[in-house]
DNA sequence: AATGAATGAGACTTCATTCAT
DNA sequence: TATGAATGAAGTCTCATTCAT
C-alpha cells in the first residue's frame, strides 16, 4: 500500500504530507505572522518531524511560497467561477464579493496571512499572481461594467479593484475577530449597500 | 532641580531619545514586520546604542507598544479635528477620509505597520484604542448622518466604519507601492465616488 | 525501531551527550558558581555546540537542576550502601562519613557546587531531595543508635545530621583547597575523633 | 550641616551612605549570590542612585570586598572577646561557638554570604583574613587546650578549627531556613554535646 | 520518505561602568 | 556628594538548517 503508484503520483504519501503541512502552516502563520512562526510548530501541528518540512519544501521560505501559490490559485478560481455565472456586471460584482467573503469565511487563517504578508517585498513574485488573477477579477468586472455603460468611464478601475478587495479582506477579518457568529450574508449586504451607493441614495439629488 | 523643565516635562534628553527611537522603529518595522525587525537595526538607525532601547522601553515589545500608542493617538487627533471642522455629516465623512489619506501619506511606514500588526492578538489592548478612537470617528460621523436622516437608519455603522478604514488603509499602501507620484486628491476622489454611490449612479433606477 | 535499545534506554547518542554535559557543567560551575558560569564555557568543555545544551536541557537552569538531581542521587546511593554494610550504628556513622568523604574526594567539584548552591531558594525543590535522601542517611543512623541505646535519647537528630553533613562538606573543601595531598583517612580520623568525643576523653570525669 | 567635619570624618553623609550600602548589599547578595546580585538592586534597596555605588566604592567588586572586610572584622572581634572572657579552654570553646551562633543569628544574611563566597578564588586575599582572624580563634583555643593537657596532643588543630567553624556556619543557616523560631541556646547545646563527646558518652568503655 | 539530534548564526536582554550635570 | 541617561560587552536563548540513520 505504501509504495504503489510510484510514477505520476499527485497523491500518495508525499502529497498527503504536503497538504497536511499546508493546513498546519496557514494556521500557525495566521497566529503570529510568517517571521514569528517556527518550522517546529508547523511540523508539530502537522504531526510530522521537523526534518520532513525540509525534505518536502527545502526551506521555510519554500513552504510558504508553495502555500501562498496554493491558496491564491484556489481563491482566484472561486472568484472567477462566481463572476462567470452572472449576467450583468453589477450582479457579477456582488457575486465576486460574496465569493471572496465565503472563501475567507472558510479559510479565515489564509485571509489573515494574505493581509499581513501581501505587501512584503519578500514575496513579490508570488504576490504578482494575486494582483493579476484575484484583483484581476474585480478589475475585469468593473471594466465590463464600463463597457456596458453601467459605470462611469473615468473610474480608476485598478484602484477601485484594490479598494474592493481590501474592503472585503479587512471586514472579513474584523468579522471573524469580533462577530464570528454573524452570517456573511449580513456583511455582504452592508458592503454591497456601500458600493452601490445605497447608503445615502436619497442624497443624489443634492 | 538641576535643570528647570518645561511644564509637563515632554522634553529633556530622555524624551528626545524616545522620539528618535519611534521614528527609527516605525521605518524598520514597516520594511519587514515586527518579528523580523531587529532592535540592533532600530538602534542603529536612531543613532543610539542597543542598550538605550532597553533602558527606555524595557523590551522590544515595550518599544512597539509605546510606538503604536503614540501613532494611534496622533491619527485619532488628526481625524477628530477633520471631522469637527465640517458642517454636514457627509462633508465630515469626506474630510475624515482625506485626513486619514494625508496622515498615511506623511507616515506611510506607520500605515504599513498598522495594517500588518493590528490583527495580532499580541497587541489587543493597544489596538482597542485604535478601534475606539479611530474607527470611532468614522462610526460617529455615520451615526450623525443617520440622525440627520442623510443615511439609511438600518446601516450597520460599526461594520461600515471598519470597511471605510480598511479601504483607505489598503489603498494608501497600494498607492505608495504602485503609484507613489499620483496625488492623494485623485485617490480621495475615487474612494469618495465609491462611497457616495456615484460609481453607478444612473443604475439606481434598476 | 531502527536500532534496538538496551532496556531502559539509558544509552544512545542523546544520553551520552547529557552525561558529557554533566561532567563539564559541574567543573565549570565549581570554579565560579552557577551564576558566573556560562553556557558557552560548559558546552566548549563538553565538546559540543552551545545549542546542544538548550536542545537537551531547555535552559541553563534546566541543565543545573538535572545535574543536581543526578549528583544527589549518586551521593545518596553511595552513602546508603555504606550504612547498610555495617553492624553497629556507630560503625555505620563512621562508614557514612567515610563514604561522603570519598565521594567528595572523587567529585570535589560537586562538593563545591553543593555547598554554594544548596541554600538558594531557587532550587528548593531539588534540594528537598538532598535533605530527604542524603541527610536522611545520617538521621536514620543516629535514630538507630538512639533505639539501640548507644546514643542519648534526647539528641536533636535532625540538627545533628545537618551538623555532620556540613562538617564533612566544609572540611572536604578545605582539604581540597589547602592540603590536597593529605589522605582522606587522616581527615576521617580527626572527624571521627571529634564526633566520638575522643578529643577530650579524659575530661569526662570533670 | 552637609559639609562640616571635613577631616577625619568617619561619619558624616558619606559614611552613612556607605553603611546603608553595606546593609543593602549583604541582603541582596545573600538572596542569590554575588554574581547574580545587581548593583541596581543594591542601590535601590539602599535608597540611592546606581552611580552612588561607583562613586563610593569604585566598582561592584570594591563594594563586596569592603563589605567582606567589614563583616569579618566584626565577627573576629566578637569571637575574640568571647574567648578572652573565659577561664578554661573548654569554656572558651563553648563561648566562641555561642558567639559565632549569636553573630550569625543577628547577621544571618552575612552568614549566607560567607558560606557561599568564602571558597571562591576571587576573594582569596580578603578571605585570608577570615582564616587568620576567625578560624584563628578556634585554633588558638584548641591549642591552649592542648597545652593545658585537656585535649589530645596529636589533634589536627587547623582541621578541627575548620570543622567547628563549618559546623556552626552550616547549622546556623539550616536553623534560619528551617526552624527560625527555635532559640540558639538549643542549637548550641546540640553542637556542644557533639563536640564534647557527650553524644555517646557511655560508649567510651567499648 | 521520514526522522530527530546536533549545530551555530543571530536574536533579545542584562548589567557593570562612564560621564555630563 | 550624588545622579541617571547612555553604553556595549557579554550572556541566555531561538531556530532554520544539516545529516547520519
DSSP letter string over D118-131?
Answer: TT-GGGHHHHHHII
pLDDT digits (tens, 9 = 90+) for B40-96: 999 999 999 999 999 999 999 999 999 999 999 999 999 999 999 999 998 999 999
Nearest chain D Cα distance for residue C11, angstroms: 35
Burial of residue C46 (number of CB atoms within 10 Å: 0-12, 13-18, 19+): buried
Q: What is the mean pLDDT of residues A103-123?
A: 91
CA of B206 to C1' of E19 (A): 78
pLDDT digits (tens, 9 = 90+) for A153-180: 888 888 889 889 988 998 999 899 889 9
Percentage of chain A exceeding pLDDT 70: 90
- Partner-chain contact C204 D203, CB within 8 Å: no
Look up the pTM and report it: 0.86
- State yes or no: pLDDT of B117 exceeds 70: yes
**C–D interface: beta-carbon pairs under 8 A:** 151
- Partner-chain contact A116 B33, CB within 8 Å: yes
Q: Please report residues of C whose CB lies closer than 8 A to that of D124.
A: none
Best of A27, A166, A187 to disrupt the B interface (most B CBs within 10 Å) is: A166
Closest-approach nucleotide to residue A61, Cα vs C1': F16
pLDDT at residue number D135: 94
Tell me the pLDDT band of B206, cut-offs 50, 70 and 90: very low
Task: With beta carbons less than 8 A apart as the criterion, state whether A4 and A43 touch.
Answer: no
pLDDT at residue number A197: 62
pLDDT digits (tens, 9 = 90+) for B23-45: 999 999 999 899 999 999 999 99
B158-187 residues near strand E (Cβ < 7 Å)? none
Mean of per-residue pLDDT scores for chain D: 87
Residue nearest to nucleotide F20 (CA to C1'): C13
Task: With beta carbons less than 8 A apart as the criterion, state whether B152 and A98 touch.
Answer: no
Q: Please report residues of B whose CB lies closer than 8 A to that of A186.
A: 156
Q: Compare CB distances from B190 to A119, A160, A200 and report the shortest one's residue.
A: A160
Gap between the Cα atoms of A44 and A55, Å rounded: 15
- Partner-chain contact C33 D169, CB within 8 Å: no
Chains in contact with B, where contact requires at least 3 CB pairs less than 8 Å apart = A
Gap between the Cα atoms of D136 and D129, Å rounded: 10
Gap between the Cα atoms of A164 and C67, Å rounded: 61
Among C104-108, D7-11, D20-24, where is mean pLDDT lowest?
A: D7-11
Gap between the Cα atoms of C145 and C86, Å rounded: 13
Mean of per-residue pLDDT scores for chain C: 87
Instruction: Locate the chain C residue with the closest alpha carbon to D131.
Output: C174
Tell me the pLDDT band of D54, cut-offs 50, 70 and 90: very high
Helix/strand/coil for C34: helix
Q: What is the mean pLDDT of residues A25-47?
A: 95
Instruction: Locate the chain D residue with the closest alpha carbon to C174.
Output: D162
Closest-approach nucleotide to residue D41, Cα vs C1': E15
pLDDT at residue number B10: 43
Is chain D adjacent to chain C, meaning 3+ CB pairs within 8 angstroms? yes
pLDDT at residue number D198: 57
Task: With beta carbons less than 8 A apart as the criterion, state whether C199 and D145 touch.
Answer: no
In angstroms, how far is CA C67 from the centroid of its own chain? Answer: 12
Instruction: Locate the chain A residue with the closest alpha carbon to B176.
Output: A119
Gap between the Cα atoms of D173 and D159, Å rounded: 21
Tell me the pLDDT band of C11, cut-offs 50, 70 and 90: low
pLDDT at residue number D178: 84
- State yes or no: pLDDT of A3 exceeds 50: no
For every residue of B58-118, DSSP letters joined together read: SSHHHHHHHHHHHHHHHHHHHHHHHHHT-SSHHHHHHHHHHHHHHHHHHTHHHHHHHHHHT
For every residue of A15-43, DSSP letters joined together read: HHHHHHHHHHHHHHHHHHHHHH--HHHHH
Gap between the Cα atoms of B26 and B29, Å rounded: 5
Task: With beta carbons less than 8 A apart as the criterion, state whether C200 and D205 touch.
Answer: no
- Partner-chain contact A203 B196, CB within 8 Å: yes
Tell me the pLDDT band of D122, cut-offs 50, 70 and 90: confident
Q: Of A80-84, D90-94, D165-169, where does the model show the most confidence?
A: A80-84
Task: With beta carbons less than 8 A apart as the criterion, state whether B17 and B48 touch.
Answer: yes
Closest-approach nucleotide to residue B14, Cα vs C1': F5
Gap between the Cα atoms of C12 and C14, Å rounded: 6
- Partner-chain contact D163 C197, CB within 8 Å: no
Best of A37, A171, A179 to disrupt the B interface (most B CBs within 10 Å) is: A171
CA distances from D136 to A11, C7, D83 (A): 84, 56, 11
- State yes or no: pLDDT of D28 exceeds 70: yes
- State yes or no: pLDDT of A11 exceeds 80: no
Gap between the Cα atoms of D23 and D45, Å rounded: 9
Gap between the Cα atoms of B86 and A63, Å rounded: 51
Task: With beta carbons less than 8 A apart as the criterion, state whether B53 and B28 touch.
Answer: no
Nearest chain C Cα distance for residue D185, angstroms: 13
Q: What is the mean pLDDT of residues A2-20?
A: 64
Torsion of CA C51, C56, C60, C64, to 10 degrees: -150
- Partner-chain contact C171 D163, CB within 8 Å: yes
Length of chain D: 206
Q: Please report residues of A whose CB lies closer than 8 A to that of B87.
A: none
Q: Which residue has the higher pLDDT, A138 or B10?
A: A138
As a whole number of Å, the CA-based R_g of chain D is 20
User: H or E stretch including C185?
Assistant: helix C184-196
Task: With beta carbons less than 8 A apart as the criterion, state whether B148 and B89 touch.
Answer: yes
CA atoms in the 13 A half-sphere facing the CB of C53: 25
Best of C117, C190, C201 to disrupt the D interface (most D CBs within 10 Å) is: C190
Residue nearest to nucleotide E5 (CA to C1'): C14
CA atoms in the 13 A half-sphere facing the CB of C9: 5
Nearest chain C Cα distance for residue D150, angstroms: 6
Burial of residue A93 (number of CB atoms within 10 Å: 0-12, 13-18, 19+): buried
- Partner-chain contact C145 D33, CB within 8 Å: no
Task: With beta carbons less than 8 A apart as the criterion, state whether C150 and C88 touch.
Answer: yes
Q: What is the mean pLDDT of residues B14-25?
A: 95
pLDDT at residue number C33: 92
* CB neighbour list of residue C124: distance below 8 Å, 6 or more residues apart: none
Q: Compare CB distances from B119 to A112, A190, A204 and report the shortest one's residue.
A: A112
Q: Residue C202 has what DSSP assignment?
A: G
Task: With beta carbons less than 8 A apart as the criterion, state whether C53 and C42 touch.
Answer: yes
Q: Compare CB distances from A199 to B121, B152, B191 and report the shortest one's residue.
A: B152
Helix/strand/coil for D188: helix
Closest Cα to residue C130, out of C143, C122, C119, C141? C119
Q: What is the mean pLDDT of residues D92-112?
A: 95
User: H or E stretch including C64?
Assistant: helix C60-84
- State yes or no: pLDDT of A83 exceeds 90: yes
pLDDT at residue number A202: 40
Percentage of chain D exceeding pLDDT 70: 90
pLDDT at residue number A196: 74
Mean of per-residue pLDDT scores for chain A: 87
Task: With beta carbons less than 8 A apart as the criterion, state whether B169 and B114 touch.
Answer: yes
Gap between the Cα atoms of A55 and A48, Å rounded: 11
For every residue of chain B, DSSP letters joined together read: --S---TT---HHHHHHHHHHHHHHHHHHHHHHHHH--HHHHHHHHTS-HHHHHHHHSSHHHHHHHHHHHHHHHHHHHHHHHHHT-SSHHHHHHHHHHHHHHHHHHTHHHHHHHHHHTT-GGGHHHHHHIIIIIHHHHHHHHHHHHHTTSS-TT--HHHHHHHHHHHHHHHHHHHHHH-TTS-HHHHHHHHHHHHHT-TTGGGTT-
User: What is the CB neighbour count within 10 angstroms for residue A58?
Assistant: 12
Q: What angle do CA C63, C172, C176 make, to 5 degrees?
A: 90
pLDDT at residue number B110: 96
Tell me the pLDDT band of A185, cut-offs 50, 70 and 90: very high
Instruction: Locate the chain D residue with the closest alpha carbon to C159.
Output: D171
Closest Cα to residue B112, out of B165, B161, B174, B35? B174
- State yes or no: pLDDT of C30 exceeds 80: yes
Amino acid at each position: 500500500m505504501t509504495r504503489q503508484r510510484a510514477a505520476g503520483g499527485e497523491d500518495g504519501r508525499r502529497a498527503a504530507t504536503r497538504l497536511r503541512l499546508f493546513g498546519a502552516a496557514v494556521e500557525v502563520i495566521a497566529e503570529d505572522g510568517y517571521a514569528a512562526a517556527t518550522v517546529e510548530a508547523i511540523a508539530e501541528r502537522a504531526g510530522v518531524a521537523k526534518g520532513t518540512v525540509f525534505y518536502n519544501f527545502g526551506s521555510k521560505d519554500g513552504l510558504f511560497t508553495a502555500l501562498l501559490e496554493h491558496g491564491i490559485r484556489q481563491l482566484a478560481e472561486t472568484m472567477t467561477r462566481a463572476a462567470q455565472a452572472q449576467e450583468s456586471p453589477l450582479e457579477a460584482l456582488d457575486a465576486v464579493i460574496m465569493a471572496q467573503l465565503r472563501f475567507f469565511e472558510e479559510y479565515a487563517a489564509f485571509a489573515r496571512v494574505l493581509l499581513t504578508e501581501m505587501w512584503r517585498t519578500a514575496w513579490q513574485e508570488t504576490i504578482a499572481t494575486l494582483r493579476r488573477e484575484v484583483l484581476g477579477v474585480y478589475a475585469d468586472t468593473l471594466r465590463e461594467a464600463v463597457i456596458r455603460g453601467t459605470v462611469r468611464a473615468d473610474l480608476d478601475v485598478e484602484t477601485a479593484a484594490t479598494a474592493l478587495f481590501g474592503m472585503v479582506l479587512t471586514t472579513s477579518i474584523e468579522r471573524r475577530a469580533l462577530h464570528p457568529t454573524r452570517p456573511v450574508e449580513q456583511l455582504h449586504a452592508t458592503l454591497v449597500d456601500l458600493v452601490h451607493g445605497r447608503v445615502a441614495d436619497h442624497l443624489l439629488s443634492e
